[in-house]
Amino acid sequence: MSRVKGKDTKPELIVRKILHSMGYRYRLHHPNLPGKPDIVLSRHKKIVLVNGCFWHGHENCNRAKLPTTNHDFWANKIAKNMERDRFNINELEERGWEVLTIWSCEISKSELLKTKLAKFMRGSNNA
């Protein structure tokens, strides 16, 4: 399962850079929280997850299309990842964290991405 989330993947670096430029400070891969979330903004009680569309099963996303070869294998694997993601997010929310998921397909739309992060940090996220 270690391939599910590579550390310091490029999309994550981009999100970190944006948050940093907005003046937010964060911890990475917090070991004591469910799922070792990517970016933890402890002071704000907020967490940003940066998910690869394929591995985390981004709904209605081109990048999340399953291969036709070994389709069942992949469908099963991705379904498990999604289930674990939901479980982790629930756990985090129950502990009072606010969680935002950024998908890798959103990384290239830098203006939208910045808006989404800014909104979330200001506390008006419903995405």
User: Which residue ranges make up the site for Zn ion (CB under 5 A)?
Assistant: 53, 58, 61, 63, 103, 105
Quote the least distance from Cβ 58 to Zn ion, whole Å.
4
Of the two residues 35 and 52, which places its CB atom closer to Zn ion in the complex?
52
d(CA 87, CA 71): 24
Sign of the Cα torsion 62, 67, 71, 77 reads negative
Quote the least distance from Cβ 86 to Zn ion, whole Å.
17
Quote the least distance from Cβ 105 to Zn ion, whole Å.
3
d(CA 14, CA 50): 10
Task: Say if residues 18 and 116 touch (Cβ distance below 8 Å).
Answer: no
Of the two residues 44 and 114, which places its CB atom closer to Zn ion in the complex?
114
- Which helix or strand (DSSP H or E) is residue 28 part of? strand 27-28
Of the two residues 64 and 99, which places its CB atom closer to Zn ion in the complex?
64
Residue bearing tokens 């944006």: 18
Of the two residues 97 and 103, which places its CB atom closer to Zn ion in the complex?
103
- Which helix or strand (DSSP H or E) is residue 121 part of? helix 110-122
Quote the least distance from Cβ 94 to Zn ion, whole Å.
26
